[in-house]
Structure 1
Amino acid sequence: MTDSVTTGTLRLPPRVHAGFGARAQLLHTLPDGTQRVLAVIDPFLTSSPLWIELQTSLEAHGVRVHVYSDIRPELPVDSLTAAADTAAALGVQAIIAAGGGSALDAAKLVALLVTHGGPLSRFYGENLVPGPVLPVIALPTTAGTGSEVTPVAVVSDPRRHMKVGISSPHLIPAAALVDPELTLAAPASVTAFAGVDALVHAVESFTAADLRSPWNDELPVFTGRNTLTSALALEAAARIHAWLPIAVREPANRRAREEMAIGSLQAGIAFGPTGTHLSHALQYPIGAATGTPHGLGTGLLLPYIVDALRRDPATAERIGVLGDAMGVGADPDAVITALSGLNDAIGVPSSLRALGIEREHLPQIAELALESRRLVGIAPVPAGEELLREILDSAFAGTLALRRTA
């Protein structure tokens, strides 16, 4: 397949280090002269030997570390405002983010609030952050969100019925240290749901619509299909498909953890400029309604999304390229079957009913998903209420049509 798109954009941290031991670069990635940092970390990390080693090393070099670990599920807006007030009062010069996607997103938003003030609601959407934020050094402890290299952070606003995204190139961390050693303690469910979300990132990045924008305009944060990221998305999908079941089954398998860390990073680099689409648009209201992990929802939805999109000939061709990369063949049916089989292998249910969704919820989910215009707009086919309802109906029933025709 020859891709007709020959334009692309990459937005990355100035420094990205990946591999066992990469965390040792932490001191060297802090801005020169840094004396005080806020460490936004998951609560379980505070007593971890790995974190204690890092904190001890920083303090031995004259860097005072203030730990903030009140990372609440779904990141309520008020909790982030409190963290930013703490950081501002301490006069920190940089933020270290260590943890899963919530910790990394929290650090980005604290950096935003410290620099530009609140409320966060004035930044909801794209390209509304007015300038650089406090430097963030990101150390992910899960292989999934890719937040260490992306320009987006997501919060829960009680005034709304789903999560809200803030997207800006200014939110990209100053450095990403992707050390698989930090993921070894992740429970099987976290490994599974974070890992399948990384696969969704790769698939949706590779199947994104062509959203070309004139170079003399302000570029959207997410620019659609991208010649610079397609190969990364394919390699990420191949890695994750091969190694995620092993990482879930054998959590101490260092090779599996390493492959997943790299696959997640590649998927993050791919979707950071490209964007994601329908799995994420639908998951936002589903996650808000059920309180279930983000990756659980996006992973569950992915086979149904691909099943619906494969009716478009151009997208079906791209799905075939994806299948070749994953080693399952170019038939879209084989790709959908492989995605469903992966979900079965790692414990992702096949029906929305398993998440507590009732049939009467489906119309509102579709309606709320359509409010995520940026995500819906990145889908490779026009995605109105009818298509979203069709996907939701299939996912509710747990039935893949496969050979369905338009």
Structure 2
Amino acid sequence: MFGTFRSPNAVYFGAGQRAMLGRVVSSFGRRTLICTDERLAADPMFRAMVEDIGAAGVDVSVFSRTIPDLPLGCIDEALAHARSAKPDSIVAIGGGSCLDLAKTTALIHTLGGRPQDYYGEFKVAKAVLPVIAVPTTSGTGSEVTPVAVLSDPDKTLKVGISDPRLIPAVAICDPELTLSCPASLTAVAGADALTHGIESFTAIRRNEGADLPLERVFVGKNIISDHHALESIRLISGALVGAVEDGSRLDLRSQLMFGAMLAGHAFANAGNAAAHALQYPVGALTHTAHGVGVAALMPYVMRFNLPARRDEYAQVAAAMGVPPKGDAKAMAEASIDAVTALFAAVGIPRTLAELGFQEGRIGWAAEQAMTAARLVQNNPMPLDVESMKTILQAAYHGDPRLLS
């Protein structure tokens, strides 16, 4: 039995929990910087949270120019804001890009340098400015993870900074903040979260000695991440369709947000795999959202990994409520069908062709996907360029038989 669990110092979950934000922020000092986006900055709930922080005796500065996919220029702007505000903490209110901006700003403001200096794993030498993460979507799980993903114009694909010191100090997860999330974003974010649960639950299992967590940010499949992953799959699969159809249902919004947070905990420790590696070049070529790409790829990656994870996929099927179907092989096959049907029900494209991906770029995309070493090495089945091409061919044509 082996397990690893890295997490914020505190996680507060539940409807109305945003009311504690002022007291939490004030515990870190008298000045804070909030990272958010223009849409949220105009929201009455956001303004109420800013007032609450101010009422707790904290001087508040707001940076509301967060841009999706987090280009380096956006980070530069936020850093300039931080230099002027001299914050004791940074509050992130928003989706994944807002949370990743807060993490990266806290890092550079504390240690100096450029984001490029920290690409990869274990590059953060000491503790950074505390981040209080307040997600407004149920998807990335960034409120509990050691990762910040950003866009570098000198890089073809998105890049990541991964270090346990990037995990927020506090996460406040209030599902009432997701009630205004549009149906399309709810679907994409929820699909992304489900892939986190599935990929972390079926990741490679390593036996590399007692110092494994000190050598890898993402250690692979383990008993603690498995617990979070399987429960996240149950929660997300049970709530996603209903939350997309009726976003006013707080019970479903709560279930979805809790599932996404648990999935974040799972992949923060175990890591993701092939679907995420392949999405990077697919997203770069099609300019489609990360969640759409990983969800479109997931059934095909599951089919590819089936020989190595039959028992785990059978457990995924059971967690998704699939009735017993005899042996583990039948249940494992049923899990792929269940994931495919769920994603179709919330509007996820079934093929890469529907995303605008061109068949002629399969070779390039396969080669680029192999450069995401931490994801490639985390896959339960060995990966090379040819196997990546096969997965992409199957996903482009919508033909899982190519993976048999």
**TM-score interval w.r.t. the shorter chain?**
over 0.9
Give the deviation of 1:33 after TM superposition: 5.6
Distance in 2 (CA, whole Å) between partners of 1:42 and 1:226 is 36
Normalised TM-score (structure 2)? 0.96
Deviations 1:346-404 (A, max 9, x none): 000001111111011111111000000110000001111121111100100012239x6
Deviates more, 1:146-155 or 1:284-293: 284-293
Deviations along 1:147-194, whole A, 9 cap, x unmatched? 000000101011111100100000000000000000001011110000
Map 1:7-406 to 2 at 5 A. 7-30=2-25, 32=27, 34-216=29-211, 218-312=214-308, 315-328=309-322, 329=324, 330=328, 331-401=331-401, 405=404
Gaps of 5+ in 2: none
The question of whether the paired residues in 1 share the 8 Å contact of 2:4 and 2:222 is answered with yes
Provide the secondary structure at the position in 2 that maps to 1:166: strand
Contact 1:31 1:94 in 2 (8 A): no
Checking the alignment, whether the CA contact within 8 Å between 2:201 and 2:221 is kept in structure 1 is yes
Sort the Cα spacing of 1:273 and 1:247 in 2 relative to 1 into closer, same or farther, 3 A.
Answer: same
Q: Kindly tell me: are residues 216 and 251 of structure 1, through their superposed partners in 2, closer, same or farther at Cα, counting changes over 3 Å? A: closer
Q: Which AA in structure 1 matches 2:75? A: L
After TM superposition, give the deviation of residue 207 of structure 1 in Å.
Answer: 0.2
Cα distance change, pair 396–140 in 1 and its aligned pair in 2 (3 A): same
SS of corresponding position for 2:83: helix
Report if the CA contact (8 A) 2:138-2:178 is conserved.
yes
- Whether the 8 Å CA contact 1:212–1:224 is kept in 2: the answer is no
Match in the other structure for 1:3 = none
After superposition, the C-alpha distances for 1:22-60 in whole angstroms (9 at most, x for unaligned) are 111212322636111110012211121111111111112
Q: Deviations over 1:195-240 (max 9, x none)?
A: 0000000000000101333334633100001111212111110111
Conserved? CA contact 1:202–1:234, under 8 Å: yes
State the TM-score, normalizing by the size of structure 1.
0.95
**C-alpha displacement of 1:325:** 1.6
- Checking the alignment, whether the CA contact within 8 Å between 2:146 and 2:166 is kept in structure 1 is yes
**Structure 1 range deviating more: 213-222 or 156-165:** 213-222
SS in structure 2 opposite 1:221? coil
Does the residue aligned with 1:85 lie in a helix, a strand or coil?
A: helix
Letter paired with 2:235: R
Give per-residue Cα distances to partners, 1:66-113, cap 9 Å, x unaligned: 110111121111220221121022211100000000110111001011
SS state at 2:188 partner: helix
- Residue 344 of structure 1 and its aligned partner are, at CA, apart by 0.9
Question: SS where residue 401 of structure 1 aligns?
Answer: helix
What code does the residue aligned with 1:344 have? Answer: A
Identity, in percent, stands at 41
Residue aligned with 2:400, SS? coil
CA distance in 1, matches of 2:17, 2:386: 47
Contact 1:127 1:168 survives alignment (8 Å): yes
Q: Give the secondary-structure state (helix, strand or coil) at the position aligned to 1:113.
A: helix
For 2:132 and 2:34, locate their aligned partners in 1 and report how far apart those are by CA, in whole Å.
9
Question: Take 1:172 and 1:92, find their aligned partners in 2: how far apart are those partners?
Answer: 18
Q: Secondary structure at the match of 1:154?
A: strand
